[in-house]
Amino acid sequence: MTDLSAFPITGRWPAQHPDRLQLYSLPTPNGVKVSIMLEEVGLAYEPHFIDIMANETWGPEFLSLNPNGKIPAILDPDGPGGQPLALFESGAILIYLAEKTGKLLSTDPATRYETIQWLMFQMGAIGPMFGQLGFFHKFAGKDYEDKRPRDRYVAESRRLLGVLETRLEGRDWIVGDYSIADVATLGWVRNLIGFYEAGEIVGFKDFPNVAAWLERGLARPAVQRGLEIPARG
């Protein structure tokens, strides 16, 4: 049996199945990237629910795995060379899992880099901007009298949806076949119009290609499962 005791995080969240990949997450737009990916590629894994509202990511055990204190993170007992590998940052995890399994990332060099390019677009633009819009539209920021910050993120989120809309013209998926670029982006667009309740303010009806792509993605069984993992306590 694999011994993961050298990793302090396993003291706080013990591995019942130490031979399986360990996922430390919760179903946020960033978290579900990895749970969807794991469901898509079929790797055996053990999910651990991390309660960010209880500041569990800022405890020493979680910080030992991700010093940035953010979900998701993984611990793969069967990493490169058969040695355990701890990894954080959802984009890096998606690339790692794609290369580990040979799925959802083309081996053609040009298509591979094009896919990574759109993954980085989600990481650097879609996620941060949609997240800021959520804060200023739904959460504490909505009470700010000055609406200029909200309007800035509304405009930028709408612009980014326009980039996706143009990209998806005549395409089912962002790059060729369904890939990690789609996995990374689906949860964020879903959250924007769902949990953040920002569909009307960004004019989501003006982006039919994005809406059709989102519907296709959410129809995938692995996506439906991954959106609920880890199960909330």
pLDDT score of 176: 94
pLDDT score of 172: 98
How far is Cα 32 from Cα 122, in angstroms, rounded to an integer? 14
Low-confidence ranges of the chain (pLDDT < 50): none
Q: Domain 109-220 is in which class? A: mainly alpha
Domain borders along the chain are: 9-104, 109-220
Domains 9-104 and 109-220 share a fold: no
pTM value > 0.85: yes
pLDDT score of 232: 79
Q: Write out pLDDT tens, residues 121-165.
A: 999 999 999 999 999 999 989 899 999 999 999 999 999 999 999
pLDDT score of 211: 98
CA atoms within 13 A on the CB side of 28: 19
pLDDT score of 1: 60
Q: For the structural domain made of 9-104, what CATH number should be given? A: 3.40.30.10
pLDDT score of 219: 98
pLDDT score of 38: 98
Q: Helix 90-101 to helix 109-121 angle, to the nearest 10 degrees?
A: 150
pLDDT score of 2: 82
pLDDT score of 233: 64
Report DSSP letters for the chain, one per residue: ----TTSTHHHHS--SSTTSEEEEE-SSTTHHHHHHHHHHHT--EEEEE--GGGTGGGSHHHHHH-TT--S-EEEETT-GGG--EEEESHHHHHHHHHHHHT-SS-SSHHHHHHHHHHHHHIIIIIHHHHHHHHHHHTSGGGG-S--HHHHHHHHHHHHHHHHHHHHTTT-SSSSSSS-HHHHHHHHHHHHHHTTT--HHHHTGGG-HHHHHHHHHHHTSHHHHHHTT-SPP-
